[in-house]
């Protein structure tokens, strides 16, 4: 139980005159401030921040943390998000002196350890992708997409070609069209074939000398491997275009097949998904990109290179598109990915994908009678079930089931994505879940679908709040604390 | 493998339920010719004990602030980080959670982000803050793109030469496949000359990008520059140092339209440049043109106050190619750190940090410039960072400092877009003592 103080806002907890931090006395001869700074640039008073003691701050945030579901506390089968276990050792390694406190402009002579790690990370990501040139700069998967599209644009410009079109299937992540538009391309969406895979005929009808890039997620967002990917790539290459692989679903194919081998020219990784950088309630992630040799000169820099004498340095590729962000990249997250790869090695990495796919197919088999999966006999690391029949027969929606799962201590799957499946429930158990957890989850869903529809439509019943009104929020946006929520 | 559960017996049971003979059969969708027929060429696995020893050794070959003094600046600073921040940010309930799409399962994160937005509004004097962006440079680019949408002007962005060179490079990259022209106003005196800015502006300019205090640590005449932007109907974008707002006027007070910042100073460790925290706040009327995630309050079915992701209709997962940006994340964990930092500091603490930085930086500047051959590069006022001009290439001086355990810089020579001769930056924070500064001065004098 919590009392009402537990979720009071910082501003309600504030009392003038309280404080949490003590700072050292000024040990240099202090001069009047208006001698140091022009009077007109000074504020009359410091910002109106809350005044709180340290114990209150701790209690406030610890209480807030307990209102969350997380991988450390709950099964989190959120499709397309790869919510796998985040090893604790990574947090400790990433926090070591010399790692956590290294300044980004520290000279190369006192950063060799860090540069070696980042160099090895580039090598490993290149090998896993089958695409040897790697830039670790992009700060997130979406920025990786953007960086790769700018890389492609620079490559075409260099060849004297003005290609304006980027294609993607209707099941693509929203970031694909958004990144293409941001990069200045025209966007073209392909219609899905009935089998849930890209239709080569549909693709072909859009291919011409204006086609720059085809963006495709493989395995796709339905959890299916695009088995025609080689032919798809050939068609793109025949018109001089490039194939971009959205790496969001790499968890299914580590060590089994490689984007570079099945025709991709460029890809991004989501280090926070595939290689266990924790999701941080929405970030930070890291979105390194890997490309074919002939695109390597255009990559965003800096990248790490090794000299003949074995030392490492930061280098800009010769025709680099430039920087995507300041400094090197989201190193703290890249490190966690590095530690993960070094823990697993080649066999361990392959075992990750085998177990992810086994777990997904097992869960799919357990649920097939109550939540059928319209596409595919077997799935990769995730699948999209449909609650359409339940909606028709009992007026129970995917959202109702998702919300009721929260009452049973399970996070909800992804609902209503991809749009090509009615009442979609996209589930991704990941490899770090046990058979027992999957059994319990499936049993719970089987129980839920027998419950009273009215009761389900009012779920969840045990969470701190119940179906907040998003329409009201959007109509009257309250985005900072005024005198109390709502 | 420490993270996999399924035993051979369980695998067999699972395969039986699935109706497959082997795990390999599950992969039959992948055509055989596309399969990798060898193990990946990766290093052999290492257990925790082995890996820790290796990482410890590599880490020891890097500079660290435990046995060295870091007076480096240029957009990343060695500020004090209270212990309570690590304690809170290392709670698995925060750092292993996902984007709060299911509000019922995420009220903790949602409230923390809402409090972050509220604190940023109070810090900046702006009306609305998003729940954070990648970092300082991309925040500038997102602000410029936002200004283009707001003003419906896509031809030109004007940026001061005193803005962090990497921020400029990022904006150039972001615009590299667009017709947008980025005009840089030279700042030979370390700050912008209002007349030169006026000359660079036009009626088709989307925004003027100012950094205050700027890359060289100098204060700009931010109010005048903001007014100039408005004279041309453009938006004023200011990149500020959050710590400086313990002393300096808020961007909102001098009329800025979009305030952005690198938030690393607010309790985020240096960690070789990232992940950091992009801050972006703006005026109310631009709300729906903002990039990034927003948290709002509402009521639930029982009328209970609650927090939700708000105005998602602007975002890529709804609007796809018409979205306000392609951003799919915020820097949640770092926004949390900043929230805790500002809560712990309070108004008085933030002011004291700012005063300590300012006083000590001025002391350091005074002492360093008493050394023969070193002088302040610019005569204008500065806050916590300053540029030193040397007679010769500063490499030797910086190496001398380095050998004595002081990391100072960066050397301005490393930025090809800056033409300031021989110089380097020094950044002083509340962590540095008079003894540190005196010791550095002795080393450089000797």
Q: Which residues of chain A make contact with B262, given a CB cutoff of 8 A?
A: 326
- The pLDDT value recorded for residue B66 is 73
CA distance to partner chain B, nearest, from residue A459 (Å)? 10
Mean pLDDT confidence for A448-473 = 97
Cβ–Cβ of B350/A49 closer than 8 Å? yes
Q: Which of B44, B50, B60, B62 to mutate to test binding with chain A, by most A CBs within 10 Å of its CB? A: B62
Cβ–Cβ of B46/A342 closer than 8 Å? yes
Q: For the complex shown, is ipTM > 0.85? A: yes
- The pLDDT value recorded for residue B375 is 97
Mean pLDDT confidence for A363-372 = 97
Predicted confidence (pLDDT) per residue in B16-74, tens digit: 999 999 999 999 999 999 999 999 999 999 999 999 999 999 999 998 777 799 999 99
Cβ–Cβ of A81/B33 closer than 8 Å? no
CA distance to partner chain A, nearest, from residue B199 (Å)? 25
For chain B, say whether A220 makes contact (Cβ under 8 Å).
no
Predicted confidence (pLDDT) per residue in A254-267, tens digit: 999 999 999 999 99
Predicted confidence (pLDDT) per residue in A113-136, tens digit: 999 999 999 999 999 999 999 999
B-proximal residues of A, 279-308, CB under 8 Å: 279-286, 300
- The pLDDT value recorded for residue B418 is 84
Cβ–Cβ of A20/B14 closer than 8 Å? no
| Closest residue in A to B271 (Cα–Cα) | A100
For chain B, say whether A484 makes contact (Cβ under 8 Å).
yes
For chain B, say whether A262 makes contact (Cβ under 8 Å).
yes
For chain B, say whether A195 makes contact (Cβ under 8 Å).
no
Mean pLDDT confidence for A27-37 = 96
Mean pLDDT confidence for B246-250 = 98
CA distance to partner chain B, nearest, from residue A393 (Å)? 25
Partner-chain residue, chosen from A97, A258, A378, that has the shortest CB–CB distance to B26: A378
- The pLDDT value recorded for residue A485 is 44
| Closest residue in B to A264 (Cα–Cα) | B34
For chain B, say whether A374 makes contact (Cβ under 8 Å).
no
Cβ–Cβ of A225/B20 closer than 8 Å? no
- The pLDDT value recorded for residue A194 is 84
Q: Which of A468, A469, A471, A482 to mutate to test binding with chain B, by most B CBs within 10 Å of its CB? A: A468
Mean pLDDT confidence for B132-158 = 98
For chain B, say whether A222 makes contact (Cβ under 8 Å).
no
For chain B, say whether A4 makes contact (Cβ under 8 Å).
no
Q: Which residues of chain A make contact with B318, given a CB cutoff of 8 A?
A: 174
CA distance to partner chain B, nearest, from residue A389 (Å)? 22
Name the band, by pLDDT with cuts 50, 70 and 90, for residue B416: confident
Cβ–Cβ of A350/B40 closer than 8 Å? yes
Predicted model pTM: 0.98
Partner-chain residue, chosen from A52, A325, A376, that has the shortest CB–CB distance to B134: A325
Using CA atoms, how far apart are residues B316 and B300, in angstroms rounded to an integer? 25
| Closest residue in A to B123 (Cα–Cα) | A47
Q: Which of B93, B114, B289, B295 to mutate to test binding with chain A, by most A CBs within 10 Å of its CB? A: B93
For chain B, say whether A419 makes contact (Cβ under 8 Å).
no
């Amino acid at each position: 139980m919590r009392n009402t103080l537990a979720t009071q806002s910082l501003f309600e907890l504030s009392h003038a005159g309280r404080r949490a931090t003590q700072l050292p006395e000024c040990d240099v001869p202090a001069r009047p401030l208006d001698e140091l700074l022009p009077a007109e640039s000074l504020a009359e008073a410091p910002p109106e921040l809350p005044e709180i003691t340290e114990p209150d701050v701790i209690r406030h945030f610890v209480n807030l943390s307990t209102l969350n579901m997380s991988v450390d506390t709950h099964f989190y089968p959120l499709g397309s998000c790869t919510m796998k276990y985040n090893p604790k050792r990574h947090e400790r390694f990433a926090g070591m002196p010399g790692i956590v406190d290294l300044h980004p402009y520290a000279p190369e002579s006192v950063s060799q350890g860090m540069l070696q790690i980042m160099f090895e990370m580039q090598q490993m990501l290149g090998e896993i992708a089958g695409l040897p040139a790697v830039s670790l700069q992009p700060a997130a998967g979406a920025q990786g997409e953007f960086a790769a599209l700018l890389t492609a644009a620079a490559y075409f410009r260099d060849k004297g070609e003005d290609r304006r079109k980027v294609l993607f299937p209707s099941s693509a992540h929203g970031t694909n069209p958004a990144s293409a538009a941001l990069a200045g391309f025209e966007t073209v969406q392909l219609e899905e074939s009935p089998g849930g895979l890209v239709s080569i005929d549909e693709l072909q009808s859009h291919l011409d000398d204006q086609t720059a890039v085809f963006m495709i997620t493989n395995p796709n967002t339905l959890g299916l491997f695009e088995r025609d990917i080689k032919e798809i790539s050939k068609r793109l290459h025949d018109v001089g275009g490039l194939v971009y692989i959205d790496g969001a679903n790499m968890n299914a194919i580590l060590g089994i097949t490689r984007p570079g081998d099945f025709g991709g020219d460029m890809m991004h990784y989501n280090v926070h998904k595939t290689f266990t950088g924790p999701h941080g309630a929405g970030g930070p992630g890291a979105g390194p990109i890997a490309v074919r040799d002939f695109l390597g000169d255009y990559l965003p820099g800096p990248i790490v290179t090794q000299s003949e004498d074995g030392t490492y340095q930061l280098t800009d590729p010769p025709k680099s598109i430039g920087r995507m962000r300041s400094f090197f990249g989201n190193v703290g997250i890249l490190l966690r990915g590095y530690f993960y790869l070094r823990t697993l090695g080649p066999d361990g990495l392959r075992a990750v994908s085998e177990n992810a796919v086994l777990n997904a197919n097992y869960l799919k088999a357990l649920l097939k009678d109550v939540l059928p999966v319209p596409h595919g006999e077997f799935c990769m690391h995730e699948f999209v079930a449909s609650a359409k029949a339940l909606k028709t027969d009992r007026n129970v929606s995917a959202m109702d089931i998702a919300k009721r799962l929260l009452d049973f201590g399970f996070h909800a799957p992804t609902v209503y994505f991809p749009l090509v499946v009615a009442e979609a429930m996209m589930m991704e158990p990941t490899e770090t879940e046990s058979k027992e957890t999957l059994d319990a989850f499936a049993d719970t869903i089987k129980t839920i679908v027998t419950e009273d529809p009215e009761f389900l439509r009012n779920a969840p019943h045990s969470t701190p709040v119940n179906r907040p009104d998003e329409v009201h929020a959007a109509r009257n946006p309250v985005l900072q604390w005024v005198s109390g929520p709502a | 493998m420490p993270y996999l559960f399924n035993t051979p017996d369980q695998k067999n049971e699972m395969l039986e339920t699935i109706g497959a003979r082997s795990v390999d059969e599950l992969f039959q969708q992948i055509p055989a010719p596309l399969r990798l027929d060898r193990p990946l060429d990766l290093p052999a696995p290492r257990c925790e004990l082995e890996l820790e020893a290796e990482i410890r050794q590599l880490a020891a070959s890097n500079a660290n602030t435990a046995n060295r003094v870091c007076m480096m600046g240029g957009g990343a600073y060695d500020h004090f980080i209270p212990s309570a921040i690590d304690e809170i940010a290392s709670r698995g309930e925060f750092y292993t959670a996902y984007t709060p799409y299911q509000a019922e399962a995420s009220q903790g994160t949602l409230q923390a982000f809402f409090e972050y937005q509220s604190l940023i509004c109070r810090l900046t004097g702006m009306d609305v803050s998003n729940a954070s962006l990648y970092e300082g440079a991309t925040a500038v680019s997102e602000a410029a793109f936002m200004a283009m949408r707001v003003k419906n002007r896509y031809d030109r962005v004007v940026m001061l030469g005193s803005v962090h060179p990497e921020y400029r490079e990022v904006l150039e990259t972001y615009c590299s496949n667009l017709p947008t022209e980025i005009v840089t106003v030279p700042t030979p005196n370390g700050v912008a000359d209002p007349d030169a800015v006026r000359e660079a502006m036009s009626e088709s300019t989307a925004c003027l990008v100012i950094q205050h205090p700027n890359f060289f640590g100098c204060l700009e005449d931010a109010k005048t520059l903001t007014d100039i932007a408005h004279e041309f109907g453009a938006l004023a974008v200011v990149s500020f140092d959050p710590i400086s707002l313990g002393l300096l006027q808020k961007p909102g007070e001098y009329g800025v339209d979009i305030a952005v910042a690198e938030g690393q100073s607010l309790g985020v460790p240096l960690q070789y440049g990232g992940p950091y925290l992009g801050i972006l706040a703006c005026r109310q009327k631009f709300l729906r043109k903002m990039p990034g995630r927003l948290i709002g309050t509402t009521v639930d079915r029982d009328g209970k106050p609650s927090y939700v992701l708000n105005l998602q209709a602007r975002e890529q997962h709804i609007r796809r190619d018409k979205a306000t940006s392609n951003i799919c994340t915020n820097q949640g964990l770092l926004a949390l750190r900043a929230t805790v930092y500002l809560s712990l500091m309070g108004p008085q603490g933030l002011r004291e940090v700012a005063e300590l930085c300012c006083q000590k930086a001025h002391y350091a500047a005074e002492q360093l410039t008493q050394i023969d051959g070193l002088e302040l590069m610019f005569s204008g006022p500065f806050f916590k960072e300053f540029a030193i001009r040397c007679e010769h290439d500063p490499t030797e001086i910086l190496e001398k400092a380095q050998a004595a355990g002081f990391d100072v810089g960066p050397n301005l020579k490393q930025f090809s877009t800056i033409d300031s001769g021989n110089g380097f930056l020094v950044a002083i924070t509340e962590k540095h003592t008079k003894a540190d500064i005196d010791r550095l001065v002795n080393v450089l004098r000797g």
